[in-house]
């Protein structure tokens, strides 16, 4: 039984790693990849603005915000996720290209593409995020979307008063109960 569990976790991690490796900006050159991320940023903001009344005002009041395109997969006992994004400081408009990654252990099955909008209500929280010292954790989730219906549009999670995270499923289905941790960092290739 123990050998089965070890093999299952190993297979889960390999499957998750291969799936998440696809979560990178498209383009051959640095400029093309940066342009791809900026277009994603603009498109995701339009989706959130049209779906959640008042979000545009909340974003304008924040010290800064970040927009991400993510992919997540869970297969049996383990999974992971990754993506790319753009953090914007509202005062001055400075943009920082970002990467994110997550790992989880627990029971689950599925894959999804989703977008995140993170609002930072304090300068300290925004700077910690940009410097890569901000981490997050999560619990249970169930969502489904086929590109037309379903999904978790507009779910909000406050990690504390300084940070609010909104998530919107793009496509896919996932059901999981896991212990998860994630990390955000500057994209060394695009900044």
- Tokens describing residue 169: 């499923």
Tell me the pTM: 0.75
Listed ranges 18-22, 105-109, 121-125, 136-140; the one with the highest mean pLDDT: 121-125
Work out the mean pLDDT of the chain and round it to a whole number.
75
If one compares 73 and 147, the residue with the highest pLDDT of the two is 73
Average of pLDDT values for 160-182?
63
Where do the structural domains in the chain lie, given as residue ranges? 2-186
Poorest-confidence range of 38-52, 97-111, 126-140? 126-140
CA torsion, ordered 35, 111, 125, 45, to nearest 10 deg: 40
pLDDT in tens, 119-134: 999 999 999 889 886 6
Reported as a pLDDT band with limits 50, 70 and 90, residue 73 is confident
Residue among 172, 162, 108 nearest 139 (CA): 108
pLDDT of residue 35: 97
Q: Under DSSP, is residue 93 helix (H, G, I), strand (E, B) or coil?
A: coil
Q: Is the pLDDT of residue 148 over 50?
A: no
CB contact set of 100 (below 8 Å; sequence gap of 6+): 68, 70, 81, 82, 83, 84, 85, 182, 183, 184, 185
pLDDT of residue 104: 72
């Amino acid at each position: 039984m123990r050998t089965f569990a070890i093999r299952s976790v190993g297979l889960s991690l390999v499957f998750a790693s291969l799936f998440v490796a696809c979560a990178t900006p498209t383009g051959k050159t640095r400029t093309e990849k940066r342009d791809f991320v900026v277009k994603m940023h603009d498109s995701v903001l339009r989706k959130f603005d049209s779906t959640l009344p008042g979000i545009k005002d909340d974003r304008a009041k924040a010290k800064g915000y970040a927009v991400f395109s993510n992919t997540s997969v869970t297969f049996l006992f383990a999974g992971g996720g990754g993506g790319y994004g753009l953090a914007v400081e509202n005062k001055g408009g400075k943009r920082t290209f970002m990467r994110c990654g997550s790992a989880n252990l627990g029971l689950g099955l599925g894959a999804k593409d989703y977008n995140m909008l993170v609002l930072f209500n304090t300068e300290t929280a925004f700077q910690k995020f940009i410097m890569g010292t901000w981490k997050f954790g999560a619990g249970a989730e169930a969502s489904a979307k086929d590109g037309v219906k379903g999904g978790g549009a507009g779910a909000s999670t406050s990690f504390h008063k300084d940070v609010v995270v909104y998530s919107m499923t793009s496509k896919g289905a996932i059901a999981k109960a896991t212990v998860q941790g994630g990390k955000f960092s500057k994209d060394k290739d695009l900044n």
